[in-house]
């Protein structure tokens, strides 16, 4: 039988106690969900964030208008490879602050400059607008990364959850229009399919206890997608699309995550195609575990493994 890591169980109990009597995410409006994250999630989980030598914010031009970014420079010499990071949050919540601690660790562990992208959120900006921001940011960095000390010819990409979805979709867009060639893409427990009745959804998504439920995912998907046609669009639902011709992929999955089977199905398809990929399975933990380094000792090790993979790919 799968067993939760003791610290993970402690975290889940803490979350359950703290959330007792409060509305669930899927009972909130998007604005309320963002306020709850900014109040209850971001300050607590970023409290142990390590220092990085240089951090600064700026905006870059994008297809829909300016895109805010945050640059993390651990002291890397100019013209080195770079990492583009796309945060999770169900396409509805999340921002530069929510994943600040994650980005600091990825930059420090990799020794590379990292650019976090603050893409537009649904439902105000439904599919494909968040994706257009992400692709636009990659395009700009490929052409102008030198302004940030990054070699735009050696970019890697990483994203968690909805950010994993957007990362994989971005790689598909770039492949289809022969855009900038990414050196590698790390997909951290991504949302790749619309089937909310997989074994992992049944095991861990039928309750609110394991951090993420199928009701939340249904709420997120409904806010992100415009109509029935989007549910068949491979750029919205990557498991519906072609997976050949992509850069090397790192696919990670958390054991107690309803989205685990999304990653497993992705790996099965990549194996059948012979597509370059690696699989990392993280036992004993739930969705969002990489944000929980404050209380979850293995989480920093997970981030280090991802960072070193990105560094290896970027320098290959």
Cβ contacts of 35-44, under 8 Å, gap ≥ 24: 37/89, 37/93, 37/94, 37/98, 38/97, 41/98, 41/291, 42/97, 42/98, 42/100, 44/294
The verdict on whether 287 is a catalytic residue reads yes
- 84 has which bridge partners? 115, 157
Q: Which of these is catalytic: 161, 170, 200, 263?
A: 161
The reply to whether 99 belongs to the active site is: no
Active site residue 79: no
Q: Tell the burial category of 83 from Cβ atoms under 10 Å away from its Cβ (0-12, 13-18, 19+).
A: buried
Q: Which of 7, 102, 96 is nearest to 46 (CA)?
A: 102
Q: How far apart are the first and last CA of the chain?
A: 40
Contacts of 288 (CB under 8 A, 6+ apart): 88, 160, 161, 211, 212
Which tokens belong to 307?
A: 């960072």
Check 139, 263, 287, 300 and give the catalytic one. Answer: 287
Confirm if 117 and 84 have CB atoms less than 8 A apart: yes
Other CB atoms within 10 A of residue 262 CB: 28
CB environment 274-301: b (16+ within 10 A), e (fewer) = ebebbebebebbbbbbbbbbeebebbbe
Which residue among 100, 118, 160, 257 is the active-site one? 257
Q: Distance between CA 235 and CA 230 in Å, rounded?
A: 9
* Residues forming the active site: 161, 257, 287
């Amino acid at each position: 039988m799968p067993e939760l890591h003791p610290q993970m169980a402690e975290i889940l109990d803490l979350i359950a106690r703290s959330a007792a009597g409060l509305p669930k995410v899927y009972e909130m409006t998007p604005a309320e969900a963002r306020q709850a994250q900014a109040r209850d999630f971001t300050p607590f989980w970023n409290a142990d964030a390590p220092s990085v030598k240089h951090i600064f914010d700026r905006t870059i031009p994008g297809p829909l208008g300016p895109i805010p970014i945050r640059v993390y420079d651990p002291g890397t010499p100019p013209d080195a490879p770079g990492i583009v990071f796309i945060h999770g949050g169900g396409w509805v919540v999340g921002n530069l602050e929510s994943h600040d601690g994650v980005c600091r660790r990825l930059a420090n562990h990799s020794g590379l400059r990292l650019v976090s992208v603050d893409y537009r959120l649904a439902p105000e900006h439904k599919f494909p607008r968040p994706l257009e921001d992400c692709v636009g940011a990659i395009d700009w960095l490929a052409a102008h990364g030198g302004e940030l000390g990054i070699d735009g010819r050696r970019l890697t990409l990483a994203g968690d959850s909805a950010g994993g979805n957007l990362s994989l979709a971005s790689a598909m867009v770039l492949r289809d229009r022969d855009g900038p060639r990414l050196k590698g893409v790390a997909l951290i427990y991504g949302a790749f399919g619309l089937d909310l009745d997989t074994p992992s959804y049944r095991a861990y998504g039928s309750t609110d206890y394991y951090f993420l439920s199928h009701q939340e995912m249904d709420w997120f998907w409904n806010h992100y997608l415009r109509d029935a046609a989007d549910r068949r669009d491979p750029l919205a639902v990557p498991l519906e699309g072609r997976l050949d011709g992509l850069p090397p992929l790192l696919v990670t999955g958390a054991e107690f995550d309803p989205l685990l089977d999304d990653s497993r199905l992705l790996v099965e398809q990549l194996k059948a195609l012979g597509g370059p990929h690696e699989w990392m399975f993280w036992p004993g933990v739930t969705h969002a575990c990489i944000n929980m380094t404050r209380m979850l000792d293995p989480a920093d090790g997970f981030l280090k493994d991802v960072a070193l993979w990105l560094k290896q790919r970027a320098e290959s």
